[in-house]
Each structure stands twice: as C-alpha cells, then as structure tokens.
Amino acid sequence: MGLISLLRSDPVGFIILIPVLLYSVIFHEVAHGLAAYFFGDDTAKRYGRLTLNPVSHIDPVGTLMLFFVGFGWAKPVPVDYYRLKNFRFGLFCVALSGCATNIFIATIALILLRLGNSGAHLVPSDILMTIAGVNIVLGAFNLIPIPPLDGSKILQSFLPESAQRSFRSLERYGFFILIILLLTGALNPVINFMQHLIYGLINVIFNFFA
C-alpha cells in the first residue's frame, strides 16, 4: 500500500511511518558507505554521504515510488568497488551491510518490544512494531538479486569474473525490470519469502541469547 492510501486511512500511522521509513533507508545507505570506507574506498566520504542529513540522501523517483507503490529507496551511496581491498569479500560486505543494518535495527526493535511486554516501556509498542516491520521489509526487498538492489551485488561476489561481466551488462535494464515487477506485484511472493527468512534469522538470534 502506498503512503497516500495510508494518509487517507490512518493519518496517525502515516505520521509515525514517514520518519521511520526515511531513517531506515538512510541508515541502510550510510552503512554501505561506512563498509566501503572500511575496505579502502572513501568515495562516499568525499561526496559527503556519510551523514544522517536526509537532504543528502533523498531520491525523487524513489520517494514517488514510496508514496504510490509502498516501496522506495534513497539515492545510492557512491562506491568505487574496484578500490576495495580484497575485492570479492569487500563487494560482499559492502553489498550486505545495508540489509544487515536493517535486520539489526529490526532485531533491536523486537528486543525492546519484548522488554516492553515485561514492564520496561521504553518506546510505545506500535512504534517498535512499525520500526521492525519497515526494516524487515527493506532488508527483504534489497536482498532480491535484481540490479540495482544489493542482492545482485551479493550474488556477483560469488560469480567468476566472466559471469560478473555478463551480470553487470544487465544493470542498465535492471531498474526498469524492477519497476515493472513492483507495479505488477510480481515481486510480492519473493519479498514475502525473504521476510520469512529474516524473521527466521531473528528467531535464531533470540533463541541463541535466550
């Protein structure tokens, strides 16, 4: 459901959702930049993208998609992958860092929700549920291996060089393929599957520390 529909049906939910969505996407992108910096590429830092200032990250098309489709994105943090130390491992870590950050945020929100149920009301439960839900969806969406999503870079990190080149040649069409799949709802089963995987991972984390 797009944000316009939510605004009409639940104005309070809309007000809560906007900053949660905005900063969940920003943390996702900043994580990419920080991971790249750790592996030797300072491009994001030089372009001033290692900041939580929303102005530096808002993408017009991604924002419109958010309002009308319910999925959106921020302006991608620039990364020069060929400057990364240990290219394959660096590519994998930089690509995964955004989704891992969303999963981490969702996990913290669910931990706080459990603490709230035990009597330590640190944050209202509806806000925690929104934070967890948004970040799980963002993590699941970005794990799909279609360019320009992070899943495509994660997949590339495991491919031989010749297959990487062939895969990169598809990137010029990836955005349009992604938009069509989103508008038709064809990606919904894939996103749901990824969400179940993430919920399963979070349950494993909970059981490990229980």
**Is-catalytic flag, 161?**
no
Tell me, what amino acid is at 162?
S
DSSP character string of 128-139: HHHHHHHHHHHH
d(CA 150, CA 17): 23
Burial 28-43 (b: 16+ CB within 10 A, else e): bbbbbbbbbbebebeb
Identified catalytic residue from 3, 22, 24, 29: 29
Rounded CA gap, 155 and 141, in Å? 15
Q: What angle do CA 169, 30, 59 make, to 5 degrees?
A: 65
Q: 206 vs 32, 99, 125, 139, CA distance in Å?
A: 26, 19, 18, 18
Please tell me the distance from the alpha carbon of residue 135 to that of residue 108, in angstroms, as a whole number: 11
Catalytic residue IDs: 29
